[in-house]
Structure 1
């Protein structure tokens, strides 16, 4: 298969803000916490490093109270902007389980405003990743990974809590092929060998146990953010490794800035901390950084070992450390993102099954890492593009791409997903279509960096209804086509083959075969209409002026306007010229919302008006001059 020059040169341009996305996700995750009175309570957490909500198993909202040095029942402040303590400690007795349905309903309930959650997310990003993060360009796409990456994993115990998982067990967890201990289907190294088609061999040097200078309670002190005492512990261990063990840090893989790619910390036992406090597991940038042997630290991940090890979270965080892939879920909880559980950088590594066998990265990420061969399908870019009946094999480290000729940073990626091999625990099987746009942001679930085109058209994850289901992929049994109006002909928030500016991409996929390891489908070669595209939404009797609320100067010639509005409405179209005031020169006002104007214009200033005679909804205006 051929990779077009445009693909090679354009895919590396990713927005700088994406690199700041690096947080551990939690979904109905439970953990135990010992209160000041000795009570051990069980809490449920939903969120990530930057924002999370915690509840008792009975569904009551709780928050860590620094004055009480424990978890208190909580409520939403009167202004709806924060969660505040009720100054009433949670106990075993008053945190009893009521009912499963009650728990789920309350756990999913949103509390503070979306704007307030976003402010908390930004504040905590700053704490964990500091100002330097905002100045770093996301160039991992351009810097394809070398064939071998050597990381470092330091294992730590405490004078009052010794490690129970041996150095050999940690080494096997990270490096052995094959590997099945603790219920895992593979090791960390085995996962990356698998999803990269053996193009990435990620190994870790595992130290012997470092015994911390102080007891565990010192580092797990809940009065401090997890980026404080954790970093003190990591700095201790790095200095021990340099000055006592004589470790050669130059043996580790680094990026172009001589920063260590994979720095991982495992410590003995449970976290013994509240969320975001003490030794709570997280990823952050080490500050001040540690340097030795002409290399320095950058980001790290730290987590507790407990009594067992699952590769999922380690894999997800390694996606950040090794490649700078961003998270693909929504931090503030207003949605589940779009990719949701279909990719390892979404929630595809934290489920009960895929924490032991994570889903692969989406096709776009595999390409950025240099693992996939991508075939450009758009004949406007690749004059050798295949057409007609095509096939794709799940897990083949190939994919198809349909790039926007007017914007090299926007494209649709196409791949088959079958629930077997590394894709065994995907929520669905069929043809996956990813809409990639580097201008997108995960803070906007309706225009993210990577949008999954859901075959059922429901967009459940974006609407916070679920984290993907078995009707999301395209196949011959359900939705078997994808074009500018299918599955949803909505101008916005739908599932269809339009670019983000509302124009038709020209991509049309049909006759998709039934779910199988190999998926077949027909690809269209019809080119979309030319012209400038404007989109908008009208209220009843409302109107919009174009282009974008302004006017345009035209030296003369044919002006062709085409308006497409919603069914069961009557939108009209006007063209006006400036003659000391705006005067109508042409109008189209049929009894529906499909209007056209062809006007032979003289030199002058013009503007276009779209107005509602009756009804409301979204529209698309195409202008050719």
Structure 2
């Protein structure tokens, strides 16, 4: 029994861990606040309590948060939980299942809808409430167009930089001012009548200036952090005031309707600083005489989900008082526990003018958890990358490219962690582009690193970390060359993993044809050749050969190269980068004289025995057709043309099969579809990003006025005749139900057709983890949707009771309740229960009258 009990507990822990691992940095949903009534679920309670405390008290990113749970107080004194994703320039507020929310003029939160011209959100007629009504699922799911989001972000950035000195508006990382010696800043600590101070002035001073500091679990003070990352070249200290009580409650600064905002608080703070007794003559100033560093450190959390308010940020406010000039400032919240991470991140902006390295569009991970400017790190922030350290004057660089420095070292080299010495491989044809190489060891300031080994950074100082496409004109400023070649950071799969850095156990070579191809951004060969990387350690070794590995050419999709010549002893190699919308492609040779053999391979150089396609005939007429997925992380293919024995003056051509993918939305039919027999149309239906405790279902249906359509659906990939999750025709009597995140649709004309309509409706159901009581009365004719998972080897029963009123529960295994399609039904206080065994069960609660004291009872037990 002891062993069985222990295994059961470990199984429960594993389930919870899997739930959280599936959505990193996701705040805990309030469903866990429900009263747990299952005997089996008792083992969950301490686990969930611990998780709730840790996840709700820490914001992993500085300016950027993802699904951060925030309580919003309503005019009637109640509160709701919403989830924020974004930064100081643009934020989205969503319900737990991912639907956009907005603030109404009455101070309540409503489900959002697009305004008439689609350029902004406006409140719908449906309020957001603690218990979601199924009527929400009948609303169209809306998202602002990407162009609108970019415009809003640009406007917010422009507003934030309104007072930025004109001379400093150029790209800051192109400056060659170094950040050395003693720098003294001012920190004004602020509290509010509705959010008073929780920490003393002495505690804040220790956080900023302390030595051997460790309170609240911090790895040193802010002063110690900057000493460490600069190699003791920067001594940054702060003069801390006593508390300033703000002129208004925090709720006023955070209310977008109040007319009072953060700029008002900045002016108040400067006025207070000048009268606080702080010796402002000690403050460091820039070359224009402005105070270099003004920190506004306020009590509590930001407490605002909306775009305005006291969100942590760096900004400018030109103001002169008593001969002291101010401009540069940063604002940070103290939160529940003092930590150095966000403070260090914002000072990275303010002190060094380093830009953010996370993606403002939030559809990629930037530099992930490897860099201060993309991940603040809480109590243990990572150092910035060596390029930023070099710009600040803290890094010694050793050039590796003999085309730049004829004396560049070659052969076996070593790199020592924490040494502020890195290798650089510069582009001789572009003085703005480099590879930086450093040893990252999981110790010291790198305790939180996702991986250790030889880190290779790709830098283009005119890039942008919101541009993850990886094309010559649209790429990151600072990117991590991930050794496994998966480009997880660019594709937003994670924030770093154990296969990113180079070592003998993962991938020990970096060159023009390695998994992480070491080519320049314009696709030209760099001839970098790093290999034989040792295992991770305080010191690692690697070889730099100084010469490239192969003569490589580039070919673009749709291009024909002529003339091409190849002989047996000298194959011709070509690199092909697939566009994102490529479903399949064909490589062919034709014309000329002689005989050529054609080889194509994904991600690696083809050989005579290892290729994804080989075409060998008696002439130059060869062809390879390959199917790919738009979600395949490997977008690079290599082509080898070999003369057999000689091929002269032939053509090499690459063509692709692509199609326009039209975005469609739940609840918004696509009408007037017309096409010929065999014609194809492609669509994408995106599920809103919600928390991992929701099941999502999509109902698809097509109709036509004349003719017939075949519809194929595939989750997260383009469907084809041999690759689909669901297939039906416009003559089907029932719609197709899928359970997925992003669905791709292919419509094929079975015959000529006219008047086609494609309809999609997405519904979400919330996971139940045990019995719970409704904390409010429920009106008649409401429907609430839930799901419940019964573990293997267990069975459960579900019952419904109420103090007054009539309601029913409908239960169906695996699929949502639709019309009369359900497995079991129970009514309030009828004494019946519904049995559930093994797997997922979908539950519909329907109230027939007003109901009070409603309780869903779940009892689970092990099957004998």
The two structures share one fold, judged by TM-score above 0.5? yes
CA distance in 2, matches of 1:472, 1:216: 43
Q: What is the match of residue 129 of structure 2?
A: 91
Q: Structure 1 residue 616: deviation in Å? A: 4.4
| SS of residue in 2 equivalent to 1:458 | coil
**Deviations for 1:332-382, whole angstroms, at most 9, x for unmatched residues?**
123222x121111112x2xxxx31101111111111111111101111222
1:48 aligns with 2:48: no
Cα displacement (A) at 1:151? 1.0
Question: Larger C-alpha radius of gyration, 1 or 2?
Answer: 2
Matched, 1:460 2:488: yes
* Number of equivalent positions: 523
1:224 and 1:443, CA in 2 relative to 1: closer, same or farther beyond 3 A? farther
Q: Is the 8 A contact 2:70 2:305 kept in 1?
A: no
Query: Which deviates the most, 210-219 or 440-449?
Result: 210-219
Aligned partner of 2:546 in structure 1 is 525
Please give the alpha-carbon distance, in whole angstroms, between the structure 1 residues aligned to 2:403 and 2:479.
23
Summarize the Cα distance change of 1:571–1:518 in structure 2 as closer, same or farther, 3 Å threshold.
farther
Report deviation, 1:298: 2.0
Q: 1:305 aligns with which of 330, 334, 342?
A: 334
Residues 157/131 of structure 1: CA separation in 2 closer, same or farther (3 Å cut): closer
Determine the structure 2 residue equivalent to 1:570: 588
* Alignment check: 8 A CA contact 2:113 2:142 kept: no
Tell me if structure 2 keeps the 8 A contact 1:504–1:528: no
* Worse-superposed segment, 445-454 or 63-72: 63-72
**Among candidates 281, 284, 291, match of residue 315 of structure 2:** 284
Point out the structure with the larger strand share: 2
Q: Is the 8 A contact 1:144 1:368 kept in 2?
A: yes
Matched, 1:500 2:534: no
C-alpha separation between the residues in 2 aligned to 1:79 and 1:571? 50
CA 1:112–1:573 in 2, change beyond 3 Å: closer, same or farther?
A: farther
1:253–1:222 distance in 2 versus 1, CA, 3 Å: same
CA contact (8 A) 2:397 2:422 kept: yes
**Secondary structure at 2:162's aligned position in 1?**
helix
Correspondences of 1:439-454 after superposition (within 5 Å): 439-445=462-468, 446=470, 447-454=475-482
Q: Is structure 2 residue 353 aligned with structure 1 residue 324?
A: yes
Q: 1:343 to 1:572 in 2, by over 3 A?
A: farther
After the TM superposition, which residues 585-604 of structure 1 pair with which residues of structure 2 at under 5 Å, given as runs?
591=622
Which of 508, 518, 533 is the matching residue for 1:512? 533
What is the 5 A alignment of 1:130-141? 130=162, 132=164, 136-139=169-172, 141=175
Aligned residues of 1:460 and 1:468 also touching (Cα < 8 A): yes
Report the counterpart of residue 109 of structure 2 in structure 1. Answer: 71
CA deviations 1:362-409 (Å, max 9, x no partner) are 111111111111101111222222110111122211100011111121
Instruction: Label 1:475 to 1:563 Cα distance change in 2 as closer, same or farther (>3 A).
Output: closer
Would you say the 8 A contact 1:538–1:544 is kept in 2?
no
2:557 pairs with 1:538:
yes
Q: Does 1:202 align with 2:221?
A: no
Pick from 427, 431, 440: which aligns with 1:404?
A: 427
CA distance in 2, matches of 1:610, 1:188: 64
- Tell me the residue number matched to 1:151: 185
Alignment of 1:124 with 2:152, yes or no, is no
CA contact (8 A) 2:100 2:143 kept: no
The answer to whether the 8 A contact 2:439-2:455 is kept is yes
For 1:70 and 1:224, the matched residues in 2 are separated by 15
Q: Please state if 1:380 is matched with 2:380.
A: no
Query: Counterpart in 2 of 1:553?
Result: none
Distance 2:319 2:117 in 1: 43
Per-residue Cα deviation, 1:542-599 (whole angstroms, up to 9, x for no partner): 54899xxxxxxxxxxxxxx97725597225799xxxxxxxxxxxxx9685865799xx
Secondary structure at 1:303 match in 2: strand
For residues 273 and 497 of structure 1, what CA distance do their matches in structure 2 show?
A: 44
CA distance in 2, matches of 1:380, 1:387: 13
Pairing of 1:549-560 with structure 2 (within 5 A) = none
Q: Could you tell which deviates more after superposition, 132-141 or 177-186?
A: 132-141
Whether the aligned pair in 2 keeps the contact of 1:501 and 1:534 (CA below 8 Å) is no
SS at structure 1 position matched to 2:556: strand
Corresponding residue number in structure 1 for 2:46: none
Name the TM-score, length of structure 1 as normaliser.
Answer: 0.76
Shift of 1:271: 3.1
Partners of 1:122 and 1:402 in 2: CA distance: 34
What corresponds to 1:101 in structure 2? none
Change (3 A) 1:127 1:449: same
1:191 CA displacement = 0.9
Looking at structure 1, the residues matched to 550 and 503 of structure 2 have their Cα atoms a distance apart, in angstroms, of 28
Q: Which residue among 198, 217, 226 is the counterpart of 1:192?
A: 226
State the 1:95 CA deviation: 9.7
Q: 2:283 matched to which residue of 1?
A: 252
CA RMSD after TM alignment = 3.4
Which residue is equivalent to 1:346?
Answer: 374
CA–CA separation in structure 1 for the residues paired with 2:101 and 2:561: 47
Change (3 A) 1:292 1:501: same
Change (3 A) 1:482 1:613: closer
Whether the 8 Å contact between 2:197 and 2:299 is mirrored in structure 1 is yes
User: Alpha carbons of 1:161 and 1:509: their partners in 2 closer, same or farther (altered >3 Å)?
Assistant: closer
CA contact (8 A) 2:556 2:654 kept: no
Q: What CA distance in whole angstroms lies between the structure 2 residues aligned with 1:591 and 1:523?
A: 38
Cα shift at 1:164: 2.4
- The CA distance in 2 between the partners of 1:372 and 1:148, in whole Å, is 18
Aligned to 1:275: 306
Matched, 1:165 2:209: no
TM-score (norm 2): 0.56
* Deviation for aligned residue 1:45: 1.8
Q: Does the residue aligned with 1:471 lie in a helix, a strand or coil?
A: coil
In structure 1, runs of 5+ residues without a counterpart are 1-21, 97-108, 488-494, 547-560, 575-587, 598-608, 618-625
Q: CA deviation at 1:188?
A: 0.9
Separation of aligned partners in 1, 2:270 and 2:289: 17
CA 1:254/1:483 → structure 2, altered by over 3 Å: closer, same or farther? same
After superposition, the Cα gap between the structure-2 partners of 1:152 and 1:131, relative to the gap in structure 1 and judged at 3 Å, is closer
CA contact (8 A) 2:104 2:110 kept: no
Are 1:538 and 1:612, in contact at CA under 8 Å, matched by a contact in 2?
A: no
- 1:272 positional shift: 3.7
Q: Secondary structure at the match of 1:538?
A: coil
Counterpart CA distance in 1 for 2:460 and 2:417 is 23
